[in-house]
Copies of this chain bind each other. A is one copy, B any other.
Amino acid sequence: ENILQARPVVYRQIAVPQPGPQEYCTDSGLVVPSISYELRTRLLSVAERHGLSLERRLEMTGVCASQMALTLLGGPNRLTPKNVHQRPTVAVLCGPHVQGAQGISCGRHLANHEVEVILFLPNFVKMLDAVAGELTLYGKTEGKHVSSIKELPDSPVDLIINCLDCHENTFLMDQPWYRAAADWANQNRAPVLSLDPPVGGQGQAVEAKWTLSLALPLPLTEGAGRVYLCDIGVPRQVFQEVGIEYHSPFGCKFVVPLHSA
């Protein structure tokens, strides 16, 4: 099968209209540029118009983020039938927005895999439909839901998943529940996985060890830790519709590590 002539390998297979300040590359050397939040919003809204609904995206993000979290927790060594008395504990900290809904979905899939999940989401009178829907489904797992920081454990958990931040509403950071949750995360000594955090520079209340970005990375600060990219199923023609020349950087994976180029 190797009779075909070797062609030079092209590593720059993604071209964006306005290259962001940061560029990453994958383990195999493929270049992954960052995009602005505005462009990503446009990408997701075109995807939705073609049927990649928020519901689908929440499901896929939850599955892929939980796969990453299960690996971080120790994977097959940690989750065996012989280890049921040492199930890992994960705290998922969520705000009342799409980022929070992604966290709840991730928490549900972790709870489905027998991880001890404690979901923090404050009580709100009116909730986004996406958040309410995720919460109903999460309620069918054995995972716990707490609305006050006082109900979070005093001892270190195995992993904190941070979904407190929202891309658009930075005034959330001034809310007492937000500050209390961020303080709790910083005092607990568990490593933090940040799920789809906003563009860097808005001030990171909780420093992450790992960050999972969706579709294409936003420009992130150093507080984001090691950056991973998550496939959320956007087909190539949708990228093209918003002016992005795209070939998948994922190979056979759905989550890949990125390195600063």
* A positions within 8 Å CB-CB of B: 1, 4, 7, 9-11, 13, 28-30, 50-53, 55-56, 58-60, 63-64, 67, 70-71, 73, 75-76, 78-82, 84-86, 108-109, 111-114, 133, 136-138, 140-142, 231, 233-238, 247-248, 250-254
Nearest residue (CB) in B for A46 is B140
Q: Are A79 and B251 in contact (CB under 8 A)?
A: yes
CB distance from A50 to the nearest CB of B (A): 5
Q: How far is the CB of A47 from chain B (nearest CB, A)?
A: 8
Roughly how many angstroms separate A93 CA and B200 CA in the complex, as a whole number? Answer: 45
Q: Which residues of B lie under 8 Å from residue A248 when comparing CB positions?
A: 112-114
Chain B residues within 8 Å of A109, by CB:
233
A247–B59 touching, CB < 8 Å: no
**Judging by beta carbons under 8 Å apart, are B252 and A78 in contact?**
yes
Within 8 Å CB of A71, what residues of B?
A: 252
A51 vs B11: C-alpha distance when bound (angstroms)? 42
CA distance A69 to B230 in the complex (A): 19
Given A111-B235, A236-B112: A63 and B254 interface contact (C-beta under 8 Å): yes
Task: Please give, as numbers and ranges, the residues of chain B lying within 8 Å of A133 by CB-CB distance.
Answer: 51
Chain B residues with Cβ below 8 Å from A67 are 254
Which residues of B are found within 8 Å of A253, using beta-carbon distances? Answer: 76
Complex CA distance for A63 and B242, rounded to whole angstroms: 24
Cα separation A70 to B79 with both chains bound (whole Å): 24
A30 closest partner in B (C-beta): B81
CB distance from A230 to the nearest CB of B (A): 11
A192 to B256, CA, bound (A): 28
A113 touches B75 (CB 8 A): no
Closest to A52 in B: B137
The verdict on A76 contacting B112 (CB below 8 Å), with A50-B137, A63-B60 known, is no
State in angstroms the CA–CA spacing of A137 and B57 once bound together: 13
B141 in contact with A28 (CB, 8 Å): no
What are the residues of chain B within 8 A of A70 when measuring CB–CB? 252
Instruction: Tell me which residues across on chain B come within 8 A of A52, comparing CB atoms.
Output: 137
